[in-house]
Amino acid sequence: MKRYSAFAIARETMRQHTGWDRAWAKRTPKKKYDVIIVGAGGHGLATAYFLGKNFGITNVAILEKGWLGGGNTGRNTTIIRSNYLQDPSAAIYEKSRSLYETMSQDLNYNVMFSPRGVLMLAQTQHEVRGYKRTAHANALQGVTTEWIGPEKVKEICPIMNIDGPRYPVLGGLWQARGGTARHDAVAWGYARACSDMGMDVIQKCEVTAVRQENGKVVGVDTNQGSIDCDKLGMVVAGHSGVLAQMAGFRLPIESVALQALVSEPIKPCMDIVVMANTVHGYMSQSDKGEMVIGGGTDGYNNYTQRGSFHHIEETVRALVETFPMIARLKMLRQWGGIVDVTGDRSPILSKTPVEGIFVNCGWGTGGFKAIPGSGWAMAELMAKGHSPLTEEFSMFRFREGKFIDESVAAGVAH
């Protein structure tokens, strides 16, 4: 693999950019792999990457039924933060956030990580109490966050109207080291690194059946033929239920649509990420100048990657009150992704009832921020059978009542 550098750009400039290699090799499946990862989104590719990097397991195939990073990895609003209430969540999300800081260097691929700061607005008394509590919990967990009052909010984000009649801004939970990154680049960077380690990234390869013998996984059937494996990692977000059904077990997950939209590009006006959880409105400004807006999920199961129009209306209506200047912006694009939501709004990184099958899912509405940490932890779980980061995230925690209840902790958003 040729390294990307300023020198490489200069060299290619001299020869009309004819010397760039494919970022990752196009492969057809081999007969057998040590590990198959289903799902070449951020989480799947990160899992494969850390299997190779941390554990030297490189006989790995990453199967993707669509195109690389074309699911939720390419559909989210790219927010990165780690200000969670519960200890297991803070541990894995903070690990993830810290890995984002060096990801561009580690992968030799510019993922445009921008630690511009994430502000979660408190617009009800309930949220004020909740976020103060979270700030204290974060202090104990070693996650740097602080509670700030409305004047400070106005100072950090001048375009905000803090005296809205319905949703006044009462303060906020500020994580200065949170931010955004280029979501596609995260998938592309990991794919390039995986391919460089000799792994096979195989696109348009849909798994149609999971083969087992004596309660142990032996391989999968795909539209590109049968492939054997010793271990199988299911990292398919919204389609986790479909894959689990093929493997013969059930998951505490429901798949629903989550939508986002972007405006026409405008001059820089907001250099942080703002999350208004009470009204389900999340906004940041991309480097191109578009206002990137995320909303809430629909209430019903859906696999169509498009959601209900009235949710967009609700999101935009609420944001217009808090950000009056966006009222006359035109929206350029709107889209939806299928997110996998668990009962306690925390993810599942777990062994399964089938030996050799591991599952990484349930990231729900907030998986992008967790990509490197999730990959790190999942790789350790798959290689060693246990990981300190995944212990609490077992799929069997519901039976035992050991929830990691972020739905209560965060109010709504995750």
CB of 329 to other proteins, least distance (A): 24
Q: Residue 32's CB: how many other CB atoms inside 10 A?
A: 15
Strand, helix or coil for residue 109? coil
Only segment of 56-64, 205-213, 251-259, 377-385 that touches other proteins (CB under 8 A): 251-259
242: left (phi over 0), alpha (psi -120 to 50) or beta: alpha
- Sign, Cα dihedral of 21, 27, 32, 34: positive
**Under rule CB under 8 A, residue 206 binds other proteins:** no
**Under rule CB under 8 A, residue 76 binds other proteins:** no
Sole binder of other proteins in the list 121, 153, 253, 316 (CB under 8 A): 253
Separation of alpha carbons 180 and 77, rounded Å: 8
Separation of CA 152 from chain center: 29
> Side chain identity at 57, as an amino acid letter?
I
**Under rule CB under 8 A, residue 353 binds other proteins:** no
CB of 345 to other proteins, least distance (A): 12
Identify which of residues 174 and 393 has a Cβ nearer to other proteins in the complex.
393
**Total binding residues toward other proteins, as defined by CB under 8 A:** 24
Sole binder of other proteins in the list 36, 187, 251, 275 (CB under 8 A): 251
Separation of alpha carbons 237 and 274, rounded Å: 25
Q: DSSP label at 355? A: B
Binding mask 23-62 for other proteins (x = CB under 8 A): ----------------------------------------
**Under rule CB under 8 A, residue 66 binds other proteins:** no
Only segment of 47-55, 267-275, 276-284, 297-305 that touches other proteins (CB under 8 A): 297-305
CB of 80 to other proteins, least distance (A): 28
Report 385-404 residues binding other proteins (CB under 8 A): 398-400
**Under rule CB under 8 A, residue 299 binds other proteins:** yes
Q: Tokens standing for 136?
A: 């204290």
Separation of alpha carbons 47 and 37, rounded Å: 8
Residue 338's nearest CA partner among 6, 120, 74 is 74
Binding mask 301-320 for other proteins (x = CB under 8 A): xxxx---xxx----------
CB of 282 to other proteins, least distance (A): 22
Separation of CA 311 from chain center: 21
CB of 309 to other proteins, least distance (A): 6
CB of 234 to other proteins, least distance (A): 14
**Under rule CB under 8 A, residue 252 binds other proteins:** yes
**Under rule CB under 8 A, residue 334 binds other proteins:** no
Q: How many residues make up the chain in this entry?
A: 414
CB of 257 to other proteins, least distance (A): 10
Identify which of residues 101 and 206 has a Cβ nearer to other proteins in the complex.
206
**Under rule CB under 8 A, residue 13 binds other proteins:** no
Strands, DSSP E only, in 65-183?
Answer: 79-80, 118-122, 146-148, 171-175, 179-180
CB of 110 to other proteins, least distance (A): 36
Q: Are strands 146-148 and 357-361 parallel, antiparallel or unpaired?
A: unpaired
Residue 249 contacts by C-beta under 8 Å, 6 or more apart in sequence? 352, 353, 354
Identify which of residues 103 and 312 has a Cβ nearer to other proteins in the complex.
312
Separation of alpha carbons 245 and 215, rounded Å: 15
Separation of alpha carbons 30 and 186, rounded Å: 26
How far CA 56 is from CA of 21, 227, 264, 358, 390, in Å, comes to: 25, 21, 45, 18, 20
Sole binder of other proteins in the list 8, 136, 204, 300 (CB under 8 A): 300
Q: DSSP label at 165? A: S
Q: Tokens standing for 388?
A: 């300190």
Q: Tokens standing for 9?
A: 């750009």
Identify which of residues 104 and 302 has a Cβ nearer to other proteins in the complex.
302
Only segment of 61-69, 139-147, 194-202, 247-255 that touches other proteins (CB under 8 A): 247-255
Sole binder of other proteins in the list 298, 325, 335, 383 (CB under 8 A): 298
Q: Which residues of this chain interact with other proteins, rule CB under 8 A?
A: 239, 241-242, 245, 250-255, 298-304, 308-310, 343, 398-400
